Amino acid sequence: MQFTVENRPDFAEVQGVGRLNMVSAPKLREVIAGVVAGGRTHVVVNLGGTDFMDSSGLGALIGCLKLARQAGGDLRIANVQPQVRMVLELTNMNRVLTPYDSAEAAFSPRGDSRD
């Protein structure tokens, strides 16, 4: 899984394409840690290109959320695909990692653009 980072005015967007599993989860943690260490504490993980996530991927997202919050920011997810949404719902983690329609909506001041 390859990750790209785009710095937006109010947040950093991290996008990955492929499967978020035990192989790619450490790379996601590394990328997010670099973003937060660089001073961007508001992060959106765009999951539009992620068609599969297992428990390792979920664990990585939770670890990254904790990292961002410890730095005084937050991590949010956007463009969640059906299989990833199912994992979030089955584990009730959709209450902690609320899916948003788009990266832009994740930190929208209106706060009404949740899925």
Domain that holds residue 101: 2-105
Handedness of CA 13, 56, 68, 80 (dihedral sign): positive
**Total count of domains within the chain:** 1
Do the domain assignments include residue 62? yes
Do the domain assignments include residue 115? no
pLDDT tens for 59-95 read 999 999 999 999 999 999 999 999 999 999 999 999 9
Do the domain assignments include residue 114? no
Do the domain assignments include residue 101? yes
Q: Which CATH number goes with the domain that contains 44?
A: 3.30.750.24
pTM: 0.92
Do the domain assignments include residue 111? no
Residue with tokens 């989860």: 25
pLDDT tens for 81-90 read 999 999 999 9
Alpha carbons 93 and 17: distance in angstroms, whole number: 21
pLDDT tens for 26-36 read 999 999 999 99
